[in-house]
Amino acid sequence: MHKEKVISRSLRMTFSGSLMVAAGVIAQPVLAQEDAKIQRVEVTGTNIKRAEAETASPVQILNRADIDKSGKATVAEFLQTLALDGAGSLPTGFGNGFAAGSTAISLRGLGATSTLVLLNGRRMAPFGRADDGQKTFTDLSTIPMEVVERIEILKDGASSVYGADAIAGVVNIILRKNFTGIVASASAGTSGYRDANQSKASVTAGFGDLEQDRYNVILNAEVSKSDKLQNSDRAGRRDWIGAGDLRPWGYPMATQFAAGYISGTNSASASPTGSIRDPKTLNYVSLPGCSTLSTTKNQDPGGGCLWYQDQFRSMQPQIDSVNLFARGTWQLNQDMQAYVEAGYSQRKTSFTMTPPSITPTVAFPPNALNPTGVINYGSGAGTTIVLAANHPQNPYGVPVRVRYSAFDVGPSTRSADNSFNRFVAGLKGNVAGWDFDTAYLHSETQLHLNYSNMLNMAVVKSALGDPNSKYFPYYIGAQAGKNPASLYAAMVTNAIADGTTKMDIIDFKASRELMPLAGGMMGLAVGAEYRRESLDSPSLSGTQDGSINASYVAAKGSQNIAAFYAELLAPVLKTVELSAAVRYDKYSNFNSTTPKLGIKWSPMKELAFRSTYSEGFRAPGAAESGIESQSTGSATVRDPIRCPNGTPLPGATANDCAATVAAVKVGNPNLQPETSKGYTLGMVWDPLPNTSFAVDGWMIKRSNEINPLTYVEAAALPTAIRSDNNLTIGGVVTPNTGTLLISKAPYQNSSYTQISGLDVDAKQRFNLGEYGKLTADVRWTHVNSWKRVEKSGKAYEYAGTHGNCDTSNCAGTPKDKVNLILSWDKADWNVTGTANYRGKMSNVYFEGDLCASKLANGGNAPTADCTLASFTTFDMSFRWKAMKNLEVFGSVQNLFDKVAPLDPLTYGGMSYNPMDSSGAIGRYFKLGLKYKFK
């Protein structure tokens, strides 16, 4: 092991585990002579080694016991239950998102792209597709759960130490480094409905002891499988969960998950039978056969063939994953150690969507043939798909428009096969009084996307509307059985894309003690890093020119970054410690200098106050700045033309008041970095030997933000593309008032976001004597304000509302999230109960706005005061050491089988909020065994 330095008057934590810790929290009496040697460690957020947890920054440390007691099967599941996780995190069930198949955490709700995830203190290559087509992030699914030793979460900015992406904080996942023996484990899980089955097995082996053998090798292999869960598996069995049709609970027929209905003159949505437009009245008429295609019994009074997405769509994907990890450490001499890490992960996910509409509006890069880069197959000039005059299902004798959802083709399945690898080789030790660590890192992802049952739009158009086509006529709806196989072979295709991300890093850091001060030794750390990042994420085949029924989504770019940084730790008094850090980052087209300051004051051994000031930045990602980058996203907005002030105009419908609008976002090479300023102020108090309490206030202002034009503003643009079902206002047909289809939302340095809140952590231990020990742990995060200010000066307050819906899955921003953990230990038993609370939210897009959802009678939804109720679940887990080498463990998630509140606005879950997914799946059981071989 490395030589240890003498650190007089060291500070140690009097509380540990999941309680938030901060550097130098509480000074304890020196337990041995003044020159006793104390083991020094490196804590997330600083490169200066010291006694455990000695920084001024708030850090939450979650050890292996905390992870085991949670009953969670993956790193992502565990982290996303924490009170710290906010809007913009990516749950497993978000299969209709850009980055389907991945998982991510979003500290403070600032998005996954502002949360830096590290593995053993170093970066990983990001996922192969940017979330929302914009935000690059680290996929938590690539991390092997069984070899995680602890997770450290730095809850303030750390750009001065780690560079870009650390505006909201850092999640450092630390794997085992010195392990001997062989441990095998296996577990299985199922829901109370006997579905959504999961199975997992792992083997971890460690050889050699660093102290005795001067080497250690750790090998780990994990395999897991999760069965697909359909929304139809819950719809009708669990209240509104998974149901697209919300009429039994007072909602209108046309929810965001409805289609096939006819909504007035010249307006109809895609129907499984096909709806064709009467050329005289312009009213759509449904073709026969609805009862054989749609499972919806209470049909459209307007004559359409109503259907809902729960007939097809998955709630949770099919997942098959493999994780391999190896680490070797060699003690070269007393002062030098070499190490190598290698990791590989493959995760295959499959998510079922819905059958394709034959009249989409798609966007792609403009070209000579289409300078607008948009094709409107439903009502565009020269591009509208019609039934030919002599089509056998056209009774009108002239070409007519058609709205059709191709049930004969079947639902599209989105499959993602993500392979991840990471290699690190390094050397660390002590030379001339300096502790140093240097390494080379290579990390790479390869993402293969395969979307089945996509449509070749040229074949669709000719097969329906061109009598001279060899594919004519294409029979739709109930008569689709007449079609030859050759038609489907030409018309139906799989759209594929293969993307890669790469990261190469060479880094060096060193620290040492400089000189004695009144409170101890002054510490210094310096470091340098060279990093190359690249992203090549092409769009799905066929989207580059609008020839299939999907829009273009691609990102490409690379950048080289050189960085230098330094830190200083100065215990100027026995009770006062000052810290400072600064980092300089040089990119190809800009540079950034980010400082950080901290102070910790310990007036008594039971009490410490702490505060930090930090500046941060986030460099534009390839998806935002690459000249070859473009994406089209969608979000729910109120159409300002057809639904002003929340009331649909005559001829419009309630759907226009919660319309799903698509927006085209194009890379901008002139973007500048986002910058931030962050502040924390807190205290840690141990009033009694078994009582610990910590409270920290925080504020972050992120300026010069990189955002597309908001969807609200994009919807109001006069250039927005609309259908031609224009409204008649004052007896006059008003142009450009049709159903909103798509708009432009270019990337820009536009707004700033300012957020503030409070973290409270408390722990109480009880000694029950012969009945064991009981520990109570409370973690509460309160968001006081989450305000975004646009370039125009318009401000939106999202705290306690369902916004920001421009962020992934429109989950909302509850003001309060709480974890309450009760853990009982006695002899060979541990039983832990965890209550997870999500606060209520106003069902508005932003504070002061109109209610975002309405009941069929015009009343506010989901309640009269327009509130999405709070939600609390209780999880139970146990671990029993049945034999010397055998452990039995199990858990029940959502023990009381609470049903998630009905959420009519989010698109991340079907009628439930994705934050409440355990209340959608229902009570879930897991049981497993772990055996340690001698």
The secondary structure of 765-829 as a DSSP string is: EEE-GGG-EEEEEEEEEEEEEEEEE-TTS-EEE-TTBS--TTSGGG--B-SEEEEEEEEEEETTE
Strands (E), 140-249: 148-154, 169-175, 181-191, 198-207, 215-226, 229-230
Question: Residue 85: pLDDT above 60?
Answer: yes
Nearest to 450 by CA among 492, 418, 495, 500: 495
Q: Tell me the residue type at 542.
A: G
* pLDDT value of position 321: 95
Q: Which of 138-142, 787-791, 900-904 has the highest mean pLDDT?
A: 900-904
Residue carrying structure tokens 């139809």: 232
Nearest to 294 by CA among 227, 384, 386, 232: 232
| pLDDT interval class at 717 (50, 70, 90) | confident
> Which of 246-255, 642-651, 793-802, 839-848 comes out lowest in average pLDDT?
642-651
Q: Tell me the residue type at 906.
A: T
Residues 6+ apart with CB under 8 A from 744: 663, 664, 709, 714, 717, 719, 720
Give the span between the Cα atoms of 677 and 153, in whole angstroms. 19
Question: Residue 22: pLDDT above 50?
Answer: no
- DSSP, collapsed to helix, strand or coil, labels residue 639 as coil
Question: Residue 325: pLDDT above 70?
Answer: yes
In a domain, 32, yes or no: no
Give the span between the Cα atoms of 778 and 790, in whole angstroms. 36
Give the span between the Cα atoms of 188 and 194, in whole angstroms. 12
- DSSP, collapsed to helix, strand or coil, labels residue 561 as strand
DSSP letter for 713, please: H
Q: Taking a C-beta distance cutoff of 8 angstroms, is the pair 309, 254 a contact? A: no
Give the span between the Cα atoms of 599 and 195, in whole angstroms. 52
* pLDDT value of position 677: 94
Give the span between the Cα atoms of 619 and 556, in whole angstroms. 15
Residue carrying structure tokens 């439903």: 378
Please write the tens of the pLDDT for every residue from 188-241.
Answer: 999 999 999 999 999 999 999 888 899 999 999 999 999 999 999 999 899 999
- DSSP, collapsed to helix, strand or coil, labels residue 234 as coil
In a domain, 113, yes or no: yes
Give the span between the Cα atoms of 818 and 872, in whole angstroms. 9
Q: Is omega for the bond preceding 421 within 30 degrees of 0, making it cis?
A: no
Give the span between the Cα atoms of 919 and 716, in whole angstroms. 37
pLDDT cut 70: percent of the chain above it? 94
Please write the tens of the pLDDT for every residue from 99-126.
Answer: 677 888 888 888 888 889 999 999 999 8
Q: Which two tokens stand for residue 326?
A: 């190896």
- Give the β-pairing of 413-431 and 434-455: antiparallel
Q: Residue 208: which region, alpha, beta or left (left: phi > 0; alpha: psi -120 to 50)?
A: left
Residue 876 burial by Cβ neighbours in a 10 Å radius (0-12, 13-18, 19+): middle
Q: Taking a C-beta distance cutoff of 8 angstroms, is the pair 605, 29 a contact? A: yes
Give the span between the Cα atoms of 59 and 55, in whole angstroms. 9
Question: Residue 29: pLDDT above 50?
Answer: no
Say how many CA atoms lie within 13 Å of 727 toward its Cβ. Answer: 18
Give the span between the Cα atoms of 781 and 785, in whole angstroms. 12
Q: What is the 3-state secondary structure (H, E, C) of 130-160?
A: CECCCECCCCHHHCCCCCEEEEEEECCCCHH
* pLDDT value of position 929: 97
Give the span between the Cα atoms of 671 and 704, in whole angstroms. 9
> Which of 411-425, 593-607, 663-677, 738-752 comes out lowest in average pLDDT?
738-752
Please write the tens of the pLDDT for every residue from 495-544.
Answer: 999 999 999 999 999 999 999 999 999 999 999 999 999 999 999 999 99
Q: Residue 169: which region, alpha, beta or left (left: phi > 0; alpha: psi -120 to 50)?
A: left
In a domain, 300, yes or no: no
Residues 6+ apart with CB under 8 A from 818: 83, 778, 779, 780, 781, 835, 836, 837
In a domain, 240, yes or no: no
Nearest to 526 by CA among 432, 592, 428, 436: 436
Residue carrying structure tokens 């073709």: 287
Q: Is omega for the bond preceding 473 within 30 degrees of 0, making it cis?
A: yes
Q: What are the Cα distances from residue 38, in Å, to 3, 524, 608, 657, 735?
A: 10, 18, 21, 64, 78
Domains held by the chain: number: 1
| pLDDT interval class at 2 (50, 70, 90) | very low
* pLDDT value of position 791: 80
In a domain, 653, yes or no: no
First to last CA, the chain: 26
> Which of 62-66, 273-277, 438-442 comes out lowest in average pLDDT?
62-66
Please write the tens of the pLDDT for every residue from 347-385.
Answer: 999 999 999 999 999 989 888 888 888 899 998 888 999
Q: Which two tokens stand for residue 917?
A: 């997914």
Question: Residue 870: pLDDT above 70?
Answer: yes
In a domain, 78, yes or no: yes
Q: What share of the chain is helix, strand, coil (3-state, %, to 5)?
A: 10, 50, 45
Q: Taking a C-beta distance cutoff of 8 angstroms, is the pair 738, 770 a contact? A: no
In a domain, 106, yes or no: yes
Residue carrying structure tokens 């409905």: 193
Mean pLDDT of 706-726: 81
Q: Is omega for the bond preceding 248 within 30 degrees of 0, making it cis?
A: no
Nearest to 373 by CA among 670, 631, 624: 631
656: phi then psi, degrees, rounded to nearest 5: -70, -20
Q: Which two tokens stand for residue 241?
A: 């969960």
| pLDDT interval class at 6 (50, 70, 90) | very low
pLDDT cut 90: percent of the chain above it? 66
- What dihedral do alpha carbons 919, 921, 923, 929 form, nearest 10°? -130
* pLDDT value of position 720: 83
Structural domain boundaries enclosing 526 = 56-228+317-352+416-451+497-628+669-710+747-933
Give the span between the Cα atoms of 613 and 153, in whole angstroms. 17
* pLDDT value of position 690: 93
Q: Is omega for the bond preceding 862 within 30 degrees of 0, making it cis?
A: yes
In a domain, 387, yes or no: no
Question: Residue 12: pLDDT above 50?
Answer: no
CATH code of the domain containing 341: 2.40.170.20
Taking every pair of Cα atoms in the chain, the longest distance, rounded to a whole number of angstroms, is 102
CA angle, residues 523, 525, 530, in degrees to nearest 5: 175
| pLDDT interval class at 133 (50, 70, 90) | low
Q: Tell me the residue type at 258.
A: A
Nearest to 726 by CA among 741, 738, 739, 742: 738
Determine which helix (DSSP H) or strand (DSSP E) holds 679, and give its type and residue range. Answer: strand 674-688
- Give the β-pairing of 659-666 and 740-744: parallel
| pLDDT interval class at 36 (50, 70, 90) | very low
Q: Considering the chain, what is the average pLDDT of its residues? A: 89
736: phi then psi, degrees, rounded to nearest 5: 60, 40
Give the span between the Cα atoms of 367 and 872, in whole angstroms. 52
Q: Tell me the residue type at 889.
A: F
Mean pLDDT of 844-854: 93
Q: Which two tokens stand for residue 847?
A: 């504070």
